[in-house]
Amino acid sequence: SRSPKRKIKPERRSRSPRGRRSRSPRRDTVKVKQERDDHWRRGNEERKQRHSSEQEHRRERSGDRDRHRDHSDRKKNPSERPGGRGHERERDIQNIREQQAEREFYNERRRENRQAQEGSATDQNPELQQSDNKTKEKPLVNKEKPSFELSGALLEDTNTFRGVVIKYSEPPEARIPKKRWRLYPFKNDEFLPVMYIHRQSAYLLGRHRRIADIPIDHPSCSKQHAVFQYRLVEYTRADGTVGRRVRPYIIDLGSGNGTFLNNQRIEPQRYYELKEKDVLKFGFSSREYVLLHESSDKSEANAKDDDDEEEKEDESDS
């Protein structure tokens, strides 16, 4: 009997890495080192080139700056320019001065000739001389004259009432009367309330109700129209002696439409003495104010009594 042949199995290659043929890593590492060295050399060369280019650029910039400075210095100092520009400019200035001197000389000669011609013409024609004198005198006539009127600037601090500057200030002879004077207002034939005006030495009449003692509401009247003032004045008695008594006065404060005493307009800034039964009007107002006192009567006897009472007041005041 034949023995069965053994089948020879082919050898399998081991899959483990040990069984594989090992490759030497020397070639790969050499290549990497070479690449690194090449990269480093290239970087050094590029840096050197960049550094050299930057240095050249800086040199060029410094050179441009130096040129610019030289140019600006030459502009500031033209005398230092090549070619002597400064000397030329001095010559031009000198020429201009000489030309101006010549012009002034010729102008003076022309003025002298003109004046001589005008003088001869005026000697021949005296009418022209008179007309020239008139023309010279005209501007002197047109000059403004000084104004000495009251401006009220001195009264702004001393004469202020309720925040309003009053145009009027009482005189030193102002007194409060002992006789009881009254104002009787009439509008056409209508009788209005009586105004008692004996409690103060002065009464301001006007449209400004904040400061007016006797308000006047007519639009033609001024804010400070007039003042009713009592003054201590001297008078001569029948026997020739001199006495003093308190009398009522009216003064207009420069109103626009004026104050009327017995239908006659009075001058502004001037005192007018008032008498019994005088009639006052202000502006274009139709109201009339009649001045009376408590003992007013038509009889002559009462008038004499009034004079005696006034004399008694004078003695008491003096």
CATH entry, 178-298, from 2.60.200.20, 2.40.50.140, 1.10.150.120, 3.90.230.10: 2.60.200.20
Which of 3-12, 161-170, 234-243 is predicted most confidently? Answer: 234-243
**Higher local confidence (pLDDT), 301 or 10:** 10
* pTM for this model (two decimals): 0.47
Alpha carbon distances (Å) from 182 to 37, 69, 189, 276? 131, 99, 18, 10
12 pLDDT higher than 50: yes
Alpha helices in the chain (DSSP H): 26-76, 85-124, 126-141, 300-317
Chain centroid to Cα 148, Å, comes to 26
- Give 26-51 pLDDT, tens digit per residue: 666 777 778 888 888 888 888 888 88
| Contact assessment for residue 276 and residue 293, using Cβ atoms and an 8 Å cutoff | yes
Listed residue (301, 284, 285, 302) closest to 293, CA to CA: 302
